Amino acid sequence: MTGSAASTATDGHRVWKFGDDIDTDVLAPGAYMKLGVEGIAPHCLEAVRPEFADQVRPGDVLVAGTNFGIGSSREQAPAALVYLGVRAVIAPSYSGLFFRNAFNLGLLLLTCARAGELADGESVMLDLQALTVTSAAGVLLPCEPIPDFLLDMVAAGGLLNQLRQRMANS
Amino acid sequence: MNNTDSTAPRTLAQKLIARAAGRDHVAVGEIVNCQVDLAMFHDSSGPRRLKPMLEELGATIWDKSKVVLVMDHYVPEQDDESRRIVRIARDWAREQALPHVYDSIGICHVVLPEKGHIRPGMFCVGGDSHSPTGGAFGAYMFGIGATEMVGVVVTGQLWVRVPQTLRMVWRNRLPAGLTAKDMMLHMIGRSGMNGGQYQAVEFCGEAVTALSMQERMTMSNLSAEMGAQTGLIAPDATTQAWLAERGVIVDDVSHWCTDPGANTVDDDFDAATLVPQVAAPHSPANTDGVQAFTDVAVQIAYIGACTGAKLDDLRAAAQVLRGHRIAAGVRLMVAPASQVDQERAEQEGVMAALRDAGAEVFATACGACSGYGGGIPEGVNVIATTARNFKGRMGSATAQVYLASPYTVAASALRGYVSDPREVLP
């Protein structure tokens, strides 16, 4: 792995907990799709938690149920989370299309079968080298492996930054 | 499963990806880089997002002949914002001298094959989640986001993890009044919205082979709602004939199939016993037989979208409505999926039958399906031929949207409540 920035353990990530099947229309509502991400982000997840966009702080993490990000290909869904400073999403499964979009935008998705054990509002530790999440009570939750090139993409801040580097080098 | 032996049986998905990766064989689970044969995007996912990123990178399009732009989401323009978005698309298309631009003539997933851009064996991406529609032609096609599209447009390449193939085997034939939409809602209900696990779904069996090309497109289109990466149907004489009508001649397609004995996970269905399916709010997987919903009154019946307003869908609706009037208090909204389909429907008397029954006809665009254009008031019950009924999807947070086939939507418009089309079909 070349993404050294992605290999440190970080603490103090506050958990925002959501249920199963959080779809892209909840993350980036169609009614605001004409706007840029700065216009969409204030409405991110408002259908299920109206206070979220207002109260989420940089470094917070989303913990969700199965099938996070199902629905549309609109990358404004992960972009809104990045814009709001969400550090990572932790869920047992994702929409495959959302998975690609998230990494392309530099948003880390941790696939964690035991995500449901984490509680809303608690503070967790992430270790991106070991790919683990540690709960406030010290319970260690393993996550599924992520290919190195995707971790590199997150470390670079997304595909666009990688393309920028590639263009600069060529 | 990970067999790379040259004589090992292979799935259709493996064959398609191997070709695009320039390899003899690819193993399930392996990540490979593919050459993209075609990249499609529309006014919403395309220029307004791609142009600034490309300019910032100082990059150019790798091969303009392999790019298709379709204006369908924000047309016809209804306000300043949509005018701005569509203007960006038109200006950029001119500036770049893009050779393949289709402006306001229909929905991208329908226009693309109509104009002969999709052929068996291709590896294609689209800036829209319903891009698996191309799978109906035996092309490996799926949706990607705008940033990933920038990567494709600059490099002409894309990574893919070689998928497992989940085969949906449909025995026997569909009864009258049943469609590919019913088959798909049934499968989505059974598997859930992520049952496809971002693998390749392949539809096969007698009932699938018997489907028209547009019905096959409906199947592949809705594989997005199963969470599959793509939804493939092996091309055959039906595919070749449909393409030939549009000036695309493809020779032998028989090798684009899953070999007997290839490693697949199979699910078995009986088309003969299927009943009309309805998905209740707010998920396409919230599906049951139509009889479970016949107490639901509807105020809006919507026949639209790439999923449900192609010529075959319009014909199905007209079959139910010809010679009748819709119930008092119901609005029947029809937005044909493409101008070509609408013109054919006009010639056949299908549009006249729908209008005489009380239908209002809207532009050949994405319209109310994506909720971009408004049109669905708060608090109503809607029954629609569209693909998604997520909360707020059609632009109204309080609307209750039910999904069904064009037969079922038409029958429900006729009676004013969710109805089994088999009770009203002539």
What's B301's domain CATH number? 3.30.499.10
8 Å CB contact of B147 and A158 = yes
pLDDT digits (tens, 9 = 90+) for B88-99: 999 999 999 999
Please check whether residues B110 and B206 belong to one and the same domain.
no
- Selected for mutation to probe chain A from B86, B150, B162, B193 (highest A CB count within 10 Å) is B193
> Is the same domain home to B269 and B337?
no
Closest alpha carbon within chain B to A167: B57
Instruction: Compute the distance between CA of residue B340 and CA of residue B364 in angstroms, rounded to an integer.
Output: 10
B302 and B362 share one domain: yes
pLDDT in tens, A134-161: 999 999 999 999 999 999 999 999 999 9
Kindly tell me if the per-residue pLDDT of A3 is higher than 70. no
**CA pair distance B329, A46, nearest whole angstrom:** 32
Place of tokens 């690609």: A100
The model's pLDDT over A29-87, given as tens digits with 9 standing for 90+, comes to 988 988 999 999 999 999 999 999 999 999 999 999 999 999 888 999 999 999 999 99
pLDDT given for residue B59 in this prediction: 95
Q: Do B144 and A160 touch (CB under 8 A)?
A: no
In a domain, B7, yes or no: no
pLDDT of residue A102: 97
Both tokens of B308, joined, read 């449900």
| Chain A residues touching B154 at Cβ < 8 A | 163
- The verdict on A134 touching B (C-beta cutoff 8 Å) is no
Mind telling me how many Å the CA of A160 is from chain B's nearest CA? 7
Nearest to A73 among B53, B127, B227 (CB): B127
Q: How far is A97 from chain B (nearest CA, A)?
A: 7
Q: Does any CB of chain B come closer than 8 Å to the CB of residue A97?
A: yes
Query: A25 pLDDT exceeds 50?
Result: yes
Alpha-helical runs (H) found in B201-303: 206-209, 213-222, 237-245
A1 has a pLDDT exceeding 90: no
Show residues of chain A in contact with B145, CB under 8 Å: 73-75, 78, 97, 100-101, 104-105
In angstroms, the separation between the Cα of residue A136 and the nearest Cα of chain B is 31
Paired tokens of B219? 């199947």
Closest CB to A97 among B143, B197, B372: B143
**pLDDT value of residue B7:** 78
The answer to whether the Cβ–Cβ distance between A30 and B127 falls below 8 Å is no
Give contacts of B226 with chain A, Cβ < 8 Å. none
- 8 Å CB contact of A163 and B56: no
Question: What separation in angstroms does the CA of B226 have from each of A122, B159, B169?
Answer: 33, 22, 15
| B319 within some domain | yes
* Residue of A67, A72, A76 for testing the chain B interface, max B β-carbons within 10 Å: A72
Would you call A104 an interface residue with chain B, using a CB distance cutoff of 8 Å?
Answer: yes
The answer as to whether B10 is a domain residue is: no
pLDDT cut 70: percent of chain A above it = 95
pLDDT at residue number B3 = 44
CA distance B274 to B183: 8
* A30 in reach of chain B (CB within 8 A): yes
Cis peptide before B282 (omega within 30 of 0): yes
User: Is 0.90 exceeded by the ipTM?
Assistant: no
Residue range of the domain that includes B251: 163-273
Residue A164 to residue B57, Cβ atoms within 8 A: yes
- Number of domains within chain B: 3
Same domain, B256 and B353: no
Across chain A, the runs of DSSP E, i.e. the strands, are 9-17, 61-63, 88-91, 108-111, 123-127, 132-134, 140-142
| Residue B46 confidence (pLDDT) | 95
Instruction: Yes or no: say if B155 and B62 are a contact pair by the CB < 8 Å rule.
Output: yes
What pLDDT score does B127 carry? 96
In a domain, B28, yes or no: no
Query: Same domain, yes or no, for B157 and B206?
Result: no
For an interface test with A, give the residue of B85, B226, B393 to mutate (most A CBs within 10 A): B393
Give A62 to chain B, closest Cα distance, Å. Answer: 20
Question: Where residue B229 sits, what CATH number does that domain have?
Answer: 3.40.1060.10
Nearest CA in chain A to B52: A160
Nearest residue on chain A to B283, alpha-carbon basis: A21
The reply to whether B224 and B313 lie within a common domain is no
Where a domain ends, among B245, B273, B301?
A: B273
The reply to whether CATH 3.40.50.1370 applies to domain A9-144 is: no
How would you write the pLDDT of chain B (426 residues) with one tens digit per residue? 444 566 799 999 999 999 999 999 999 999 999 999 999 999 999 999 999 999 999 999 999 999 999 999 999 999 999 999 999 999 999 999 999 999 999 999 999 999 999 999 999 999 999 999 999 999 999 999 999 999 999 999 999 999 999 999 999 999 999 999 999 999 999 999 889 999 999 999 999 999 999 999 999 999 999 999 999 999 999 999 999 999 999 999 999 999 999 999 999 999 999 999 999 999 999 999 999 999 999 999 999 999 999 999 999 999 999 999 999 999 999 999 999 999 999 999 999 999 999 999 999 999 888 776 557 888 999 999 999 998 877 878 789 999 999 999 999 999 999 999 999 999
Given B31, B45, B129, which is nearest A71 (Cβ)? B129
- Return the pLDDT at B2: 46
DSSP B59: -
Q: Are residues B284 and B369 in the same domain?
A: yes
d(C-alpha B41, C-alpha B117), whole Å:
13
Is residue B16 one of the residues assigned to a domain? no
Cβ atoms B131, B109 nearer than 8 A: yes
pLDDT at residue number A30: 85
Searching chain B, which residue's CA lies closest to the CA of residue A153? B148
**Alpha carbon distance B229, B248 (integer Å):** 26
Q: Judge if B182 and B241 occupy the same domain.
A: yes
Task: Tell which residue, B224, B130, B391, B368, has the closest CA to residue A45.
Answer: B391
Band the pLDDT of A88: cuts 50, 70, 90.
very high
Question: Which of B148, B198, B371 has the CB atom closest to A30's CB atom?
Answer: B371
A108 has pLDDT over 80 = yes
Residues of A in contact with B31 (CB under 8 A): 147
Give yes or no for residue A7 having a pLDDT over 80: no
Which of B222, B242, B273 represents a domain boundary (last residue)? B273
Partner residue facing B395 (CB), from A30, A67, A96: A30
Rounded to whole angstroms, how far apart are CA atoms B220 and B180?
Answer: 10
Q: Which two tokens stand for residue A34?
A: 């004409």
pLDDT of residue A6: 44
Q: Please judge whether B391 and A25 are an interchain contact, meaning their C-beta atoms are less than 8 angstroms apart.
A: yes
